[in-house]
Amino acid sequence: MLRIPCPWCGLRDESEFRYRGDATRRRPAAEAGIDAFVAYVYQRDNPRDWHSEWWLHVAGCRGLLRVVRHTVTHEISLVESASGVQGAEQPR
Amino acid sequence: MNVPHPRLPPPKVQRSNRYSIWRLLREGLRSQRGWSRAWAKASPRARYRVVIVGGGGHGLSTAFHLAAEHGITDVAVLERGPIGLGNVGRNTTIIRSNYFHPDNIRFYELSLRLWERLERDLNFNAMVSQRGTLNLFHTEAQRDLFTRRANQMRLLGVDAEALDAAKVRRLVPLVDLENGRYPVLGGFLQRRGGTVRHDAVAWGYARAASAAGIDVIEHCEVTGLTLADGRVRGVQTARGPIEADTVCLAVAGHSSVLAAMAGLQLPIETHVLQAFVSEPVKPLLDVVLTYGAGHFYISQSDKGGLVFGGAIDGYNTYAQRGTLPMVEEVAAAGVTLLPALARLKVLRQWGGVMDMTMDGSPIISRTPVPGLILNGGWCYGGFKAIPAGGLTTAHLIARGEPHPCAEHLDLGRFAQGRPVDERGVGPFAYLH
């Protein structure tokens, strides 16, 4: 069980959250070309290391959070509200 | 168009080491002293024509098919640990070809036909058991969707059969048809589907590849890829560098890590999938059964344990262990479908890490780095695809062009707008 310290609700079980994937991808400008859009939609770093990712607290404050978590140990080093994170306003 | 029948020359296991009933009787009379190792413990040489990274099902099957189909035996298979401890030994052993996309049906049907002749090809008892796979449906809309899939399969000459609720009850009396939440309306049965003993698949392919002269090298972790003039020239390993004309990655679960060594990014996220086995009980389930109102599939092993699993945990991880919320979800689905399961104890639970691709379909492809071939992205359907995955990857390596049954699985499909999205959920790896 992952336990994610939500900045608004405190330490909560992973089952209250919904995973929304890699938080490093940013939508390219409309004229950026097909390669940039392919990279944005499909390509992922998928690190065996620290991973920056979105979690939506659906059964809590419904806030979108950016979490930095290690993909082998599952240790969480950072949790912050997505508001203020550049690019977080895009739909996902 | 029907699925082409695979054409393979006879297996290349040496006569002196063939397994047969006569050999078994003879060894029984000679205190079992005449058996030799199933495959040679090879050490790496400085150079090979083909190096396959990953001694799992797909790596070993690719090696076998390179030898059997193309006569290429200057091949090394490099495995980080011992053979059989990766995903080839962690899955729920199910084989089937009941897919929806015609290209996928052709590919998985090729695999099923190769499973049907696997034991003759390898001279190895892999306990291939075509006990049937039964997919239940619980709503009329789901019935229509399954009917469409079954019709698609039958148009391509693949078996699929519709069962009403009464027939489902006769086949699997344990199912709670009138359960309050998701009553079972019927099911679709593929009689040729079933299970295979997964360890024996790894051992059988390793033995046949080794007998053909291929080096199966265990405890040889690849730490880097050697690149020169923009193409791959070999690999660096814990046991020294090895040169090669072609390097094939068959490391599903870790494809992104190996591809990054060549500076490539893949349309893949790594996720963990858990599996479970109960304490052994007397025979009570003689088909592979899947639940249509949740993600749950179950079969009974020959030892008597009920082997079952569900969906991925749902977030990026390379840890080969799952967490409890998915255990609860799988148990809830299982008990809804088969209330008798509530009386059983779970004996073991484990996890394996999957390459989850952005369209839920695998990748058998050249890469932007010349000489580097990728066999990966198996999501959680890699086991059933082992024979066809190996055959088509070997074809790509030997001929330099994709096998007709795996053309649609190339890396270029994402950029060219033709993803093979079997479930239709869009480019979200964690949803497939």
Query: Which ipTM was obtained for this model?
Result: 0.94
Q: Which of A82-91, B119-128, B288-297 has the lowest mean pLDDT?
A: A82-91
Q: Give residue-wise pLDDT tens across range B97-106.
A: 999 999 999 9
pLDDT at position B4, please? 57
Give the up-direction half-sphere exposure of residue B415: CA atoms within 13 A in the CB hemisphere: 11
Output the CA–CA distances (angstroms, integers) from residue B168 to B35, B131, B137, B151, B256, in the order listed: 46, 15, 11, 19, 42
Instruction: Among B175-184, B218-227, B421-430, name the most confident range.
Output: B218-227
For residue range B295-306, list pLDDT tens digits in order: 999 999 999 999
CB < 8 Å from B in window 62-91 of A: 69, 71-74
Considering the domain B133-193+270-357 in this protein, what is its CATH number?
3.30.9.10
Please, what is the Cα angle at B114 between B126 and B172, to 5 degrees? 65
Name residue B308's beta-bridge partners.
B276, B298
A35 contacts B267? CB cut-off 8 A: no
Q: What mean pLDDT comes out for the span B164-177?
A: 95
Compare CB distances from B318 to A22, A48, A53 and report the shortest one's residue: A48
pLDDT at residue B75, rounded to an integer:
98
Instruction: Round the average pLDDT of chain B to a whole number and report it.
Output: 94
Using CB atoms, pick whichever of A19, A43, A73 lies closest to residue B265: A43
Spell B268-303 as b/e; 16+ CB within 10 A means b: bbbbbbbbbbbeeeeeebebbbbbbbbbbbbbbbee
* Interface contact flag, A19 B318, Cβ < 8 Å: no
pLDDT (tens digit per residue) in B9-26: 555 555 568 999 999 999
- Average pLDDT over every residue of B317-331: 93
More confidently predicted of B423 and B35: B35
Rg (CA), chain B: 21
Q: Which amino acid is at B406?
A: A
Percent of chain B past pLDDT 90, that is, above it, reads: 91
Distance from B96 to chain A by nearest Cα, in Å?
Answer: 28
* B264 has a chain A CB within 8 A of its CB: no
Q: Is the CB of residue B426 less than 8 Å away from at least one CB of chain A?
A: no
Query: Can you tell me the distance from the alpha carbon of B429 to that of A22, in angstroms, rounded to the nearest whole number?
Result: 10
Which of the listed CATH numbers 3.40.50.300, 3.40.190.10, 3.30.2270.10, 3.30.2010.10 matches domain A3-81? 3.30.2270.10
Mean pLDDT, range B241-270, rounded to an integer? 97
Residue B2 has pLDDT above 60, yes or no: no
At residue B1, the pLDDT reads: 47
List A84's β-bridge partners, or say none: none
Tell which phi-psi region holds residue B341, choosing left (phi > 0), alpha (psi between -120 and 50) or beta. Answer: alpha
> Contacts of residue A53 in chain B, CB cutoff 8 Å?
315-316
HSE-up of B119 (CA within 13 Å, CB side)?
12
Rounded to an integer, the average pLDDT of B197-216 is 97
User: How is chain A split into domains, by residue range?
Assistant: 3-81
B48 contacts B220 by C-beta, under 8 angstroms: no
Residue B84 has pLDDT above 80, yes or no: yes
Residue B334's pLDDT band, with cuts at 50, 70 and 90, is very high
Q: Which of B260, B427, B430 sits opposite A19 (nearest CB)?
A: B430
- A14 interfaces chain B, CB cutoff of 8 Å: yes
Contact A27, A64 (CB under 8 A): no
**pLDDT tens-digit profile of B119-154?**
999 999 999 999 999 999 999 999 999 999 999 999
**pLDDT of B352-383, one tens digit each?**
999 999 999 999 999 999 999 999 999 989 99
* pLDDT (0 to 100) of residue B3: 59
- Spell out the CATH class of B38-124+197-267+359-431: alpha beta
A37 has pLDDT over 50:
yes
Q: Are B236 and B226 in contact (CB under 8 A)?
A: yes
Cα dihedral B161, B163, B168, B171 in deg (nearest 10): -40
pLDDT at A66 over 90: yes
pTM: 0.94
Model pLDDT, residue B5: 55
DSSP type of residue A6:
E
What pLDDT was estimated at residue B13?
52
Domain ranges of chain B: 38-124+197-267+359-431, 133-193+270-357
pLDDT in tens, B379-410: 989 999 999 999 999 999 999 999 999 999 99
Contact A53 B315 (CB under 8 A): yes
In this prediction, residue B168 carries a pLDDT of 97
Which residue in B317, B411, B425 has the most chain A C-beta atoms within 10 A of its own C-beta, making it the best mutation to test that interface?
B317
B44-57 mean pLDDT: 98
pLDDT value, residue A78: 96
